[in-house]
Structure 1
Amino acid sequence: MKTRKLADMEVAALGLGCMGMSEFYGPSDDADSLRTLARAADEGVTLFDTADTYGLGHNEELLGRFLEGRHGQVRIATKFGLVRKPGSYERRIDNSPAYIRAACEASLRRLDVDTIDLYYAHRLDPAAPLEETVGALARLVEEGKVRAIGLCEVTPATLRRAAAIHPIAAVQSEYSLWTRDPEDGVLQACRELGAVFCAYSPLGRGFLTGTVDTASLAPGDFRSANARFTGATGQANARLADTVRALAAAKGCTPAQLALAWLLARGEHVLPIPGTRRVDRLLENLGALDVRLTDADVGTIDEAFPPGIAAGERYSPEGMKGVNV
């Protein structure tokens, strides 16, 4: 298993995003999710990504069940800061020190752990003083409640400001063949600061695999209201999946494996965290670790997927709150 350095921890080079096991991608089954989590651990995956807002606590509780008997064997990353009401996508951002402490204590209880390995600010409120937010996280580290801290969807300038207050172990943002925004300085800043870059939605929320039928998405699947999947923009983006399929066939791998291998080739500090609820997809994704891309391969892929190639915003206006702060 290839690895990445995350603060004082060593983790596998491919993590597992757990959000879909609780929300946003249609109905899920806890028993199936637990089987997938267990198989991931058996296959050597060591970083599992969640957040307190995923299923409004359900996802953390699910991981707490998975962790029974595995404490110390895997690492858990969770997040705070996005506050929603049950059944609503609408959110507000809370970075106040009092909220951070209360959210951390609640996550510790749900996960049934003494220490959170990696604790992210899920989004930053531009009106909240960064010094107060990072300072509150630093105190949790000092108290042993958190091992390392991270930020999500931030600009290079914000990352550098935060790192001057306390070491930032990781940055998590959307990054894939159809979302290359982090190449505009964030990846370089992570490299300079020794932070891991965790790429979420590395398969374009499944779109780049060519397996998503937008006409038959399950009830509750938020992609049915996502501009990149629907209407004229969805039709325009369909060619991207076709391109990945052709490139993967030439390389002798699946589209998912090609998309993940491309990310792994971006640098030793890049760590994709594809999400899945299915064992077969998990194993397929892990196969990306065996795909070897030459410089020529990477150049061909880069040329086929230049920055900005995808049509449509990656989130609705509500979802874009706190992005690129």
Structure 2
Amino acid sequence: MKYNELGKSDIKVSEIGFGCMSLGTDHAVNKALLLKALDNGINFFDTADLYQQGQNEVTLGKAFKGLREKVYLATKVGNQWRPDGSGWYWNPSKDYILAAVESSLQRLQTDYIDLYQLHGGTIDDPIEETIEAFELLKQQGKIKQYGISSIRPNVIREYSSRSAISSVMLQYSLLDRRPEETVVPLLAQNQVGILARGSLAQGLLAGKAPKAYLEHSAQNVQHAAETIHALVADKYNAAEVAIRFALQQPGITSAILGIRTENQLKDALAAAHAAPLSEEQLMALRASIPAHTYALHR
């Protein structure tokens, strides 16, 4: 397993991160899968207080009790549940973040969070106030680093210039290369790590039947899948090609993969150990489907 520094921090995360959102509700089953991932070199586990109304954080706390120093835990904040549990609303206020972190720490059974991320964000947020909250938590030792989870270039630009974020989590795959236009170069320039999610594009790059995706027609998606299939020989499977493509984009620190089953974990680990794609293969993949740009929030 390869490990990369997260931005300018001293955190070195596995290039395959375990996305915990897909985990079920059986804590014992989850623990077995999470520990197997750890045993095989994955040290970065990403969750959010939103997932399963906090139970996703609880499952990580139970799994890694007594193993805290062996893992990097990342969680997210900003979506506040309504008291009746009927849904949530956006709240990036300083007061809410300072209160929410205490609940996350309790559920995770830890006294610090390695990476605390704003779970979204708009250009109309009280950004300075949000940054103040993260900086205060860092001073207090309750978080080690902070970042944002966003696909909005204008929001990413503001946090890159006004804060000490270590990372941005965003969607990136062969079928979603929108970050390449301005976001990836900006983050590279500012030494901010990129956590790529959605690398399999809802499974469309790993064997699922083609369908329209973002601005791509089903026909274009099929062409990209066929190009991947042409690269699949004894050396790779389709998922490995798609994940390697994302990982080999300059600036990508880790691919965060949603893992729920042992087979999915096996595929994720296979991608980590697969041979890098050649420049010719990467060029063929890029040429197989057009790269779009963000239409909104520029």
Q: Is the 8 A contact 1:4 1:268 kept in 2?
A: no
For residue 72 of structure 1, the aligned residue among 69, 73, 84 is 69
* Residues 213, 221 of structure 2: 8 Å contact kept: no
- 1:37 pairs with 2:20: no
C-alpha distance in structure 1 between counterparts of 2:39 and 2:254, whole Å: 19
Cα shift readout 1:218-246 (whole Å, capped 9, x = no counterpart) = xxxxxxxxx749xxx88557625742551
Q: Alignment partner for residue 16 of structure 2, among 14, 18, 21? A: 14
Query: Partner of 1:292 in structure 2?
Result: 276
Change over 3 Å in CA distance of 1:141–1:9 after alignment to 2: same
Summarize deviations over 1:254-312 as a string: whole Å, max 9, x none: 11100010111112543111111112221222212222211111000001132249xxx
Taking only the aligned residue pairs, the percentage that are identical comes to: 31
**5+ long unaligned stretches in structure 1:** 23-27, 215-226, 314-322
User: Which residue pairs with 2:240 in the alignment?
Assistant: 257
Q: Give the 5 Å matches for 1:21-170.
A: 21-22=23-24, 29-84=26-81, 91-170=88-167
Q: Tell me: CA distance 1:100–1:204, structure 2 relative to 1, closer, same or farther (3 Å).
A: same
Q: How many Å apart are 1:92 and its aligned residue? A: 2.3
Distance 1:145 1:129 in 2: 22
Question: 1:146-177: per-residue Cα shift (whole Å, max 9, x none)?
Answer: 10010111545533432444311000011111
Q: Check 1:234–1:300 CA distance in 2 against 1; reply closer, same or farther (3 A cut).
A: closer
Give the C-alpha shift of residue 56 in structure 1: 0.9
Q: 5 Å matches for 1:247-286? A: 247-250=230-233, 252-267=235-250, 269-286=252-269
Q: Is the 8 A contact 2:5 2:12 kept in 1?
A: yes
Q: Quick check: 2:13–2:43 contact (8 Å CA) kept in 1?
A: yes
Structure 1 pair 34/206, CA: closer, same or farther in 2 (3 Å)?
Answer: farther
Is the 1:82–1:94 contact (alpha carbons within 8 Å) kept by the matching residues of 2?
A: yes
Write the distance in 2 (CA, Å) between the matches of 1:59 and 1:244: 37
Conserved 8 A contact 2:149-2:168: yes
- 1:242/1:54 CA distance change after superposition, 3 Å: same
For residues 225 and 159 of structure 2, the distance between their equivalents in structure 1, rounded to whole angstroms, comes to 40
> CA 1:167–1:257 in 2, change beyond 3 Å: closer, same or farther?
same
- Gap regions ≥5 residues in structure 2: none
- 2:210–2:221 contact (8 Å) kept in structure 1: no
What is the Cα deviation at residue 191 of structure 1? 0.9
- Note the alpha carbon deviations across 1:189-221, whole angstroms, 9 max, x for none: 11111111001121112232114799xxxxxxx
Letter in 2 for 1:20: S
Deviations 1:86-125 (A, max 9, x none): 776x642110111111111111111011111000001114
Amino acid at match of 1:102: A
Instruction: State TM-score, norm by structure 2.
Output: 0.88
